[in-house]
Amino acid sequence: MARVRDRDPAAFESLYDGFHRLVYGIAQRMLADPTAAEDLTQAVFLKVWANPDAFRGGNFGAWIARVARNRALDVLRARSARPEAEIPADLGTDHDLDDAVLSKIEGERVRAALTALPEEQRMPIELGFFAGVTHEEIARRTGTPLGTVKTRIRSGLRKLREALETSAA
Amino acid sequence: MNGSSRHDDGRLETVAVYALGALPEAEAREIAAHIAECPECAREYRALRAAANLVASGAETAEFAPNELQSQRMKNAIMREVRASLQPASAKPEAGALPVAPRVPWLAYLAAAACLAVAFLSTSQLGAVRAQHERDVAQVAQLRAQLDRQQRTEAILAEALQPAAARFPVGLGLVARSNGRIILAMQHMPAPPKGKVYQAWTLRRGAKSVAPSITFTPDASGDLVVELPGSAADLAAVAVSVEPEGGSTVPTSKPLFVRPLS
C-alpha cells in the first residue's frame, strides 16, 4: 500500500490482481448481478486509488472486503422497495476493530473455518452478512424460531473466532 | 449505570446479532447504547465483530469468481482511469480552453536540482535532504489524491450540467437526472452534527415509502457532488435527511428537502 500511496500504477495493478476476486465475489454474492458486481469492483478499486489513506493499516483483505460489503449494501438499500427493517443499521467500517489476533488471518483459513462450522450456524451467519437481512428475516426464511437463530449466530461467531485464533497461534 | 446498561448475559446473543450487522434499526440503536456503557458486552462485541468482519473472505470461491474475460475487462477499465489520473492536466487539453503557459516539468527539475545539491553535500547533510525529499514525495502524493478527487467531482458535475440533463433546484443546490443517473450538487451545506451523516432517499413511482440510498458528508467548504447508486428510472422524488452514521433504514429526522423529479 505504501507504493500505491506513492502513486505507483504497477503496485496498484498487483493489488488488483491479489484482491479483485474477493471484491467481485462479495459483490456477486450479495447482488447476484455480474454487471453490477463488475461496476462495484471497479468503484471500490478506484476509491482505493483515489484515497489510499482511507486504509489505516491492519488486514487489507478484511478492510477492502468491508468496503465492498458496505458498497453492496448501499446498492441493496437503493434497490429495496421495502426499506422497513430489511437492511441492518450497523454499517460502520469499524477501522478500530481489526484486532491483533485476527489481523494476519488469510482468506483461505477463514474459508476453511467457515466451512467447518455446522450448517445450522454457518447459514444464518452468511445470510445476515451477505444478504443484509435482519435476524427476524433469517428466522422467517429458514423457518427457525428467532431465539434459536440468535443462539446459532452467537455460537457460530464464537466458534469461528476460536478456530481462527487457534490457526493464528 | 442505569437499569438498561446493567450487564445481563441474556443480552449477549443480541450483541452477537448486532456484531453481524443483522439487527433491525431500533434494536441496533438500543444495543449500541447499551454496549457503550457495559464493558462485558463491549468486549463480546469487539471479539465477535472482528470475526464477523472476516466472513467476507468466504465469498472468494469459484462459485462467485469472475471469469478471465471479466477480470481483464475490469482491470483494463480501472488501469485506464489510474493512468489517466497520473497524466498532468496539460496533457488533456479541453476544447475551447484558454491558452496557458506551458507547464514547467517541475518534478524533473526538482529531481535534477536534488542530484546537483547532493553532489556537494556531506553525508550528514544527505540524511536531511533525503528526509526532505520523502516529505516532498508524500506531499506530491497527497496533492495527486486531491486532484483525483477533484477530477472525479468535476466529471460528475459536468454530467449534471450537460444540456440534456434535467435539473431540479433545491435550497442549497440542485438534483439532476442525467443518463439514467441521479446527481446531487450542493453548496454551503453545514457539516452534520457529530456522529451524524446526510442520507439520500429515493421514492419510486407508485411506492408508498421512500427507500434508503447512500450516506455522505460535504467537504470542509460545504460543497458536495455525489451520484446516487442505481438507476434513476421510475424515480418520482429524491430527499435528503440527517441520520446516524452508517445510515438508517427509514428517515429518523425531518428531511432537508423532498424534491419531486418533475
Name the one residue in this structure whose C-alpha cell is 483459513. Answer: A109
User: Does B243 or B60 have the greater pLDDT score?
Assistant: B243
> What's CA A163's distance to the chain center, in Å?
18
Same domain, A67 and A8: yes
**How confident is the model over B139-145, as a mean pLDDT?**
69
The last residue of a domain, from among B56, B74, B97: B56
Q: What is the nearest CA distance from B59 to chain A, expressed in angstroms?
A: 5
Domain endpoint, select from A60, A78, A95: A95
Burial class for A103, CB neighbours closer than 10 Å (0-12, 13-18, 19+): middle
Q: Where are the alpha helices (DSSP H) in chain A?
A: 2-5, 9-31, 34-50, 60-79, 107-116, 119-130, 135-142, 146-168
- The answer, yes or no, to whether residue A89 has pLDDT greater than 80, is no
Give the C-alpha separation, A94 to B51, whole Å.
12
Contacts of B58 in chain A (CB under 8 A): 110-111, 114, 126
Alpha carbon distance B26, B6 (integer Å): 19
Q: A49 and B14: CB-CB below 8 Å?
A: no
The sheet that has B166-170: what strands, in order across it?
B166-170, B173-178, B181-186, B224-227
A50 contacts in chain B (CB < 8 Å): 85, 145, 148-149, 152
Contact B56 A90 (CB under 8 A): no
Return the CATH number at A44: 1.10.1740.10
Pick the residue of A53, A77, A79, A93 with the most B CBs within 10 A to test the interface with B by mutation. Answer: A77
Nearest-CA distance from A31 to chain B in Å? 11
Lowest mean pLDDT among A21-30, A35-44, B216-225: B216-225
Of B159, B181, B201, the one marking the end of a domain is B159
Q: Is A104 found in the same domain as A86? A: no
The nearest CA of chain B is from the CA of A40 a distance in Å of 10
- Comparing A132 with B139, the larger pLDDT belongs to A132
Residues A52 and A8 in one domain: yes
pTM summary value: 0.54
| pLDDT, mean over chain B | 78
**Residue of chain A whose alpha carbon sits nearest to that of B182:** A78
Which residue range forms the structural domain that includes residue A159?
Answer: 99-169
Which ipTM value was assigned to this complex? 0.79
B51 with A164: Cβ contact below 8 A: yes
Among the candidates A62, A95, A128, a domain finishes at: A95
> How does pLDDT run across B32-91, given as a tens digit for each residue?
889 989 999 999 998 898 888 878 877 777 778 888 888 888 999 999 999 988 876 555
Reported as a pLDDT band with limits 50, 70 and 90, residue A90 is very low
Indicate whether A34 and A112 sit together in one domain.
no
The band of B97, judged by pLDDT with boundaries at 50, 70 and 90, is very low
The beta-carbon neighbor of A21 closest among B66, B77, B204 is B66
**Structural domain containing residue B137:** 109-159
Percent of chain B with pLDDT over 90: 14
Q: What is the mean pLDDT of residues A40-50?
A: 94
* Cβ contacts of A16 on chain B, cutoff 8 Å: 74-75, 78-79
pLDDT at B224: 83
In tens, the pLDDT along B173-210 reads 889 998 888 998 888 888 888 888 889 999 988 888 88
* pLDDT for A5 beyond 50: yes
pLDDT of B116 strictly over 90: no
Structure confidence by residue, pLDDT tens digits, A56-65: 877 788 788 8
Does B214 map to a domain?
yes
Domain-terminating residue out of A95, A121, A141: A95
- A76, A61, A65, A59: which is closest to A26 by C-alpha? A65
Single-letter amino acid, residue B3: G
Instruction: Tell whether A68 and A105 lie within a shared domain.
Output: no
**Residue B6 half-sphere exposure toward CB, CA atoms < 13 A:** 2
